[in-house]
Amino acid sequence: MNIRPLSFLAVAATASCLALAACSSSSSTSSTPPASPTSSASSPSASASAASTSASPSAAASGSDSNIPANLTGAAKTVATNWVTFFDATTPTAKRVSLLENGSSFSAVLAGQATSAQGKETSAQVTAVTVAGSKATVTWNLLLSNIPVLKGQKGQAILTKGVWQVSQSSFCGLLAMQPPVPGACKA
């Protein structure tokens, strides 16, 4: 994960928010059935080919897709959509669990983020996606109150049973910025 020195306080606040949510969450699980995740509609041969698209934040689509480049299509757009949905504080925890590799191991962390004041202000803006087979590299910005606090981050998404998910290593990389790191990241 590429971390550039920006504002130490902003980065510390965001990392603290993520880690604090991880530490303060309970171990209870949601009884709500998971929402169906957005899946890739591309064929196996289409997802096996490499796709790369990038855009500046000003080239992003308007409306609810403002954090996704307007020029993304196919699997790259699905990756970006799922990435932004995962980091959207308004996304229900069950849906976020379904969009994270080994998400059930992070249910308590994600539930804690959903109730954290700072967690509710955290979101993501995707600037580029490169898809190669069942893996994708995502270039993105971590936002706090819609202000970038970590710019140009590189993360990984993986295709699992037809669903593009944020990789566990990408999520744990964020959580590791402010110890203690949840046990699920150590496994």
Q: What is the pLDDT of residue 180?
A: 85
- Under the banding of pLDDT at 50, 70 and 90, the label for residue 124 is very high
Report yes or no on 167 lying in a domain: yes
Exposure string of 71-105, with b = 16+ CB inside 10 Å and e = fewer, is ebebbbbbbbbbbbbbbbeebebbbbbbbbbebeb
Coil, helix or strand for 158? strand
CA distance 142 to 22: 17
Q: Structurally, how many domains does the chain consist of? A: 1
Report yes or no on 2 lying in a domain: no
Report yes or no on 110 lying in a domain: yes
Domain coverage including residue 154: 8-30+38-186
> How do residues 131-145 score in pLDDT, each as one tens digit?
999 999 999 999 999
pTM of the model: 0.71
